[in-house]
Structure 1
Amino acid sequence: MRIGRVVAGTMALAAATIMATSESAAAGVTPRIGSDHTYSGRQNTPSIPLHKGIGVAQRQYRIAVYTGNKEDAGTDANVYITIYGTRGFVGRKLDNSGDNFERGKTDRFTLGLRDVGRVKSIKIRHDNSGEKPGWYLKKVTIDVNGDHPKFYCNRWLAKDEDDHRTWVKLQRA
């Protein structure tokens, strides 16, 4: 029962904060919760606004995904990344307006996500959708807060190649 009271108390606090924020917005006052700022380090790289959380530290993650230059290396499947750090983990679908994950191509994404601390590893996967979903992933790099970890893969993520997995967990190089 104690857990139920804690959850109920947290929900009440969140509801009160939302109500206060809505009232401030109606009065023309900009609330100081979260941030509306976005960042895009490159032209044609979409920016996603920083998450508006209560007391949640945010970071801009600039992610570059390198598809190998092998025959049929590209994929039209949906690709997802999970970033693991010293303060937890966060995941997101990688998508923008471009034709992503094609043979020999580098795709760049700028995401405003919860701060996970120093990035230690990533998990990258696809949902095996599309006509030829197999994908040859060369590497992933992440630029966050002046840190530039690299994650080398050089393998197929495919049901009909290598170990038949569509995901891989990679440690920082």
Structure 2
Amino acid sequence: MRIGRVVAGTVALAATTIMAASESAAAGVTPRIGSDHTYSGRQNAPSVPLHKGIGVAQRQYRIAVYTGNKAGAGTDANVFITINGTRGFVKHKLDNSENNFERGKTDRFALGLRDVGRIKSITVRHDNKGEKPGWYLNRVTIDGATFSAYRWLAKDEDDHRTWVKLYRH
């Protein structure tokens, strides 16, 4: 009898989880994957937690970030990317085991994220932390699409912003 209760409990839990995901989808809100990134199927809609693996189309994104070769171009600040596509957007912190975003360096990331459809634009930003957080971003490529910046992301340079929205060309 105990095994029957466990199986029945597991089936009930799975049904509840699927129902919650269906209700979120019906409301037009797509839940969030993992803890490092968020996704919303509608612009200006808040992201909500997602139960991993329930009706979520994932895609492998190959991202290359090119830091400029200018004096002081590198940063130790935390860098984030938002990928905007035809099916919503996803946000992710760019980090790996290397010393990222140093002068003249190309940093590469392979990220399994929510599929946002055809990429229209990206937003790159940093949190302005560290001794010298200013950063000169040349460009970003995602799966062969290029997003050119050639500008400072710094509170004390250019337009004093630590973020930039870039469009595909």
Q: Give the TM-score, by structure 2 length.
A: 0.71
Q: Match of 2:160?
A: 164
Which runs of 5 or more structure 1 residues have no equivalent in the other structure?
Answer: 1-10, 18-50
User: Are residues 1:96 and 2:109 paired?
Assistant: no
Alignment: residue pair count:
126
Identity among equivalent pairs (%) = 77
Q: Secondary structure at the match of 2:103?
A: coil
Taking the TM superposition and a 5 Å limit, the aligned residue runs for 1:37-76 are 52-76=52-76
**Contact map agreement 2:18 2:54 (CA 8 A) in 1:** no
Residue aligning to 1:120? 120
What do residues 36-91 of structure 1 show as CA deviations (whole Å, max 9, x unaligned)? xxxxxxxxxxxxxxx94211111000100000000000000000000000000000
Greater strand proportion: 2
Report what 1:14 is aligned to. Answer: 17
Structure 1 position 137, deviation (Å): 0.0
DSSP-derived class of the 1:170 partner? strand
| Aligned-pair CA distance for 1:13 | 2.2
Q: Distance in 1 between matches of 2:150 and 2:124?
A: 13
Distance between the aligned counterparts of 1:86 and 1:109, measured in 2? 22
Residue in structure 2 matched with residue 153 of structure 1 by the alignment: 149
Alpha-carbon offset, residue 14 of structure 1: 1.3
Q: Secondary structure at the match of 1:129?
A: coil
Measured after TM superposition, the shift of residue 149 of structure 1 is 1.0
Change (3 A) 1:15 1:87: closer
Aligned to 2:34: none
TM-score by length of 1: 0.69
- Residue 131 (structure 2) pairs with residue 131 (structure 1): yes
| 1:7-60 C-alpha deviation (Å, 9 max, x unpaired) | xxxx9621789xxxxxxxxxxxxxxxxxxxxxxxxxxxxxxxxx9421111100
- The one-letter code matched in structure 2 to 1:171 is Y
DSSP 3-state at the match of 1:70: coil
What is the CA–CA distance in structure 2 between the aligned matches of 1:69 and 1:105, rounded to whole Å?
Answer: 8
Tell me the secondary structure at the aligned position of residue 91 of structure 1. Answer: strand
Query: RMSD of the TM alignment (CA)?
Result: 1.9
Structure 2 distance, partners of 1:15, 1:125, is 35
Q: Distance in 1 between matches of 2:19 and 2:150?
A: 50
User: Secondary structure at the residue paired with 1:159?
Assistant: coil
Q: Specify the SS of the correspondent of 1:96.
A: coil
Find the counterpart in structure 1 of residue 141 from structure 2: 141
Distance 1:166 1:67 in 2: 14
